């Protein structure tokens, strides 16, 4: 096995060897490559992701095998590949060994995995969102929803807060923040630094336990030509049809294909709760709020899709 150039951030050495399980009748096979990246999230493989990416070959049959460094130390557990053909195409993913060790210790001690719980829905803070919230830089992540009765709610966190630090370390990525919260022991009190109304403040929150957390006829229509969508006041009939509440937002009943609203992911049945951080409780109020944004040609919406909420900035 040759030695390759050391990659930044790799555990002890960058050259990665993969010990195959039996694959195509070839046992005890070794492949060599580099660690391409760490902290890969949002891959859609599992709810909690923190993968090592490597170009050393991983093929069907050696999932669960070790990713080892040049000193023979296990750096990760081979888990998945990116492939359009079913075979290896140069991109593989491994669970970091320290994460796997923590999970294994919990299983050995208690027979189950316990995850920390904060009770917020979060989303990336784009430059457009940062500008809409009066922030100079898009640093941190945005709280789109605070679950009622959750640790976050009890600590006083609010929708629209921007989390910039957790456990004394900067917060820059949604996936990394979720992992850090989930790995925090329930009952432990941690400090969150947030931006609210342009001011930074610290909030102490006691982490909860995820397994104990609670999971969560047509009215007049108004069209927003700038956004190419139509909304309606939520009547009792619409509330039942779309699992919404009368007086809490407006329901989207039509979205023009290819419009800025459609491209932003807004779809029929979504509920728009706020326009430019102001609550709208009927279609007329929504129309007036959009009209007020015509000069700026930009609007900030708080949209609920299913059980989740998110902020969306639309420019036209």
60-116 residue pLDDT tens: 666 678 888 888 899 898 888 876 666 677 788 898 988 888 888 888 988 888 889
Residue 253 corresponds to which tokens in the numbers above? 């009943």
Instruction: Report pTM.
Output: 0.58
Domain boundaries, the chain: 15-109, 116-212, 221-315
- Architecture category of domain 116-212 in CATH: Roll (2.30)
The pLDDT score that the predictor gives to residue 213 is 39
- Write the DSSP symbol of residue 72: S
Q: How far apart are CA 221 and CA 218, in angstroms?
A: 8
C-alpha to C-alpha distance for 166 and 194, rounded to whole angstroms: 9
For 15-109, CATH gives 2.40.10.10
pLDDT at 86: 62
Strand pairing category for 51-54 and 169-170: unpaired
Q: What local confidence, expressed as pLDDT, does residue 153 receive?
A: 94
User: Residue 78 is encoded by which pair of tokens?
Assistant: 């081979």
Whether 15-109 shares its CATH topology with 116-212 is answered no
* pLDDT at res. 226: 78
Asked if residue 45 lies in contact with residue 80, where contact means CB atoms within 8 angstroms, the answer is yes
Ranges in the chain, pLDDT < 70: 1-28, 42-47, 60-63, 83-87, 211-223, 236-237, 240-241
Terminal Cα-to-Cα distance of the chain (whole angstroms): 57
* Listed residue (266, 277, 276) closest to 231, CA to CA: 266
CATH fit for domain 221-315, picks 3.30.420.40, 3.30.70.1710, 2.30.42.10, 2.160.10.10: 2.30.42.10
Helix, coil or strand: residue 59: coil
Region for 238 from its dihedrals, namely left if φ exceeds 0, alpha if ψ lies in -120 to 50, beta otherwise: alpha
**Contact (CB, 8 A) for 114 and 209:** yes
| DSSP output for 113-178 | ---EE--EEEEE--HHHHHHTT-SS--SEEEEEE-TTSHHHHHT--TT-EEEEETTEE---HHHHH
Q: Residue 37 in contact with residue 66, Cβ under 8 Å?
A: no
pLDDT at 27: 66
Give the CA radius of gyration of the chain: 24
């Amino acid at each position: 096995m040759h030695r390759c150039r050391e990659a930044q951030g790799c555990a002890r050495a960058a050259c990665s060897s993969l010990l195959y399980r039996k694959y195509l009748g070839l046992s005890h096979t070794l492949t060599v490559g580099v660690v391409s990246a760490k902290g890969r999230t949002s891959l859609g493989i599992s709810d909690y992701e923190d993968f090592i990416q490597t170009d050393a070959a991983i093929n069907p049959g050696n999932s669960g095998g070790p990713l080892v460094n040049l000193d023979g130390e296990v750096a990760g557990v081979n888990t998945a590949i990116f492939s359009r053909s079913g075979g290896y195409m140069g991109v593989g993913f491994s669970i970091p060994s320290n994460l796997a060790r923590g999970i294994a210790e919990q299983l050995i001690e208690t027979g189950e995995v316990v995850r920390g719980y904060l009770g917020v829905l979060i989303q990336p803070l784009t430059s457009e969102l940062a500008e809409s919230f009066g922030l100079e830089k898009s640093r941190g992540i945005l709280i789109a929803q605070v679950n009622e009765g959750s640790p976050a709610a009890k600590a006083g966190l609010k929708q629209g807060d921007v989390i910039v630090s957790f456990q004394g370390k900067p917060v820059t990525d949604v996936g990394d923040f979720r992992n850090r919260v989930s790995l925090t022991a329930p009952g432990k009190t941690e400090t969150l630094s947030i931006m609210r109304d342009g001011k930074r403040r610290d909030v102490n929150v006691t982490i909860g336990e995820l397994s104990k957390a609670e999971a969560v006829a047509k009215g007049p229509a108004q069209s927003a030509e700038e956004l190419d969508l139509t909304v309606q006041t939520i009547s009792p009939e619409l509330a039942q049809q779309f699992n919404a509440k009368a007086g809490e937002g407006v329901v989207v009943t039509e979205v023009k294909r290819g419009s800025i609203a459609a491209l932003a992911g807004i779809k029929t049945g979504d509920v728009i709760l706020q326009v430019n951080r102001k609550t709208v409780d009927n279609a007329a109020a929504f129309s007036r709020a959009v009209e007020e944004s015509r000069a700026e040609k930009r609007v900030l919406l708080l949209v609920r899709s299913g059980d989740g909420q998110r902020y969306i900035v639309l420019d036209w």
